[in-house]
Amino acid sequence: MLKNIPLMIALTASLVACGGSDNKKSNSASSVALSSSAPASSAPASSEPASSTPASSEPASSAPASSEPASSSMASSSAPSNLLTIDMTTGWRGNNDGVVSYSTDGVTLVAAADGQGAVFDMMAPIQLEGAVVEMVINVSNEYKASGANLQLFAQIKAGAYPGEYDCWTNNADLTQGVDQTISCTIDEADDKFNQTATDVQVGIQAKGTVFAGTVIIKSAKVTLATQAASSSAASSTPVASSSSTPVASSSSSSVASGVINADMTKDWEVGNGGGAIAYTADGVIYTPAAPAEYSSGVFFKPVGPFNLEGATFSVTMTPDAAFIASGHNPQPFAQVEGGSYAGEWDCWFNNTDLVVGASNILTCTISQAGAFNITDATPVRVGFQLTGGSSYAGSVTITAASIVLAP
């Protein structure tokens, strides 16, 4: 059962914008438009951070009157669950004085100097090592004629703004007025882009000496090598206990690897008799119902020994229209099974931020000290429970769930 203890709420995987720059030149391997020849200019662009505030820092207007934070805007995706499709109507901004605007075609960049670009943010915690960034772009006649190149990049928004700059598209590979796909794989030897605390900005910038015309970014997506995590927030309310045998092997990867992935074919449970689960090719379908006590919820149970203090877990779920209409907020939580049922309840996700039929990523960082350093075979419940709402209806398909252990 889910015990009456504080709940946690999770923020979605936000994709907002931030600035990027070129601290090293590139001979990248990318997709269609990426050339293997060297960049036209080895001079790095400025690495100063963008001045705009990440979208996730703005509370949603639907935020509860209590201390529960609203979640930020997010990127939605359809299957597979590791594909994040970037919103082309909000969250982008100019980098290094690049000018960005929106239209029905997408995001338009006007660059007048080397290193000016368009960027969005990916909020920490996020696992971006091995991720592939892909954009569909269309350059104007003037941009092509200027001789300017294009560079995809990713940059950590702290310190010296270290980044991935090894992707390059030569002007010779650009065709004016034609949609072209360019891509970049984020791959740094020190795995610096597996971030637990610092946001990452991803974008495209102009490189060269003469600039004119426009670059239209028609679409953008990020395909993660591992399950992404996003930022967390705060709330309180408990999950109770639900019966059942500990799952000795509920994960498909070892604790030693630093990532625990839930098995999506077995070993999920509902709390307090509050609903039912079914296993399908699409994932775990959770159909909530009124619980016998406390809250209805769904979770998997990795078994210790392990240290989950500081770990970040994420659950990717696709709600149907009836579930959203029920008004329930899915609150991520972690709870030690047994004893006082200690839990992490300081995360929240608003019902109003759910996108019907799309992958919504709920995440939370386990910040409670002491209780989650498990030294024996004690199971820990990891999932989400329902808060608010006036009725139970619809269902949610859970397509992925994982825990990223703290370094």
Domain spans, the chain: 15-223, 255-404
Same fold across 15-223 and 255-404: yes
SS (H, E, C) 52-80: CCCHHHCCCCCCCCCCCCCCCCCCEECCC
Question: Consecutive sets of 10 residues in the chain, 407 residues long: mean pLDDT of each?
Answer: 38 34 34 28 32 26 26 38 85 93 94 95 86 94 96 89 89 93 87 84 95 96 64 30 32 62 90 86 91 84 90 92 93 89 89 89 87 90 90 92 88
Q: Is the pTM for the entire model greater than 0.85?
A: no
- CATH class of the domain defined by 15-223: mainly beta
CATH code of 255-404, in short, is 2.60.120.260
pLDDT at residue 79, rounded to an integer: 39
**Segment 365-397, tens digit of pLDDT:** 998 888 899 898 899 999 999 988 878 899 999
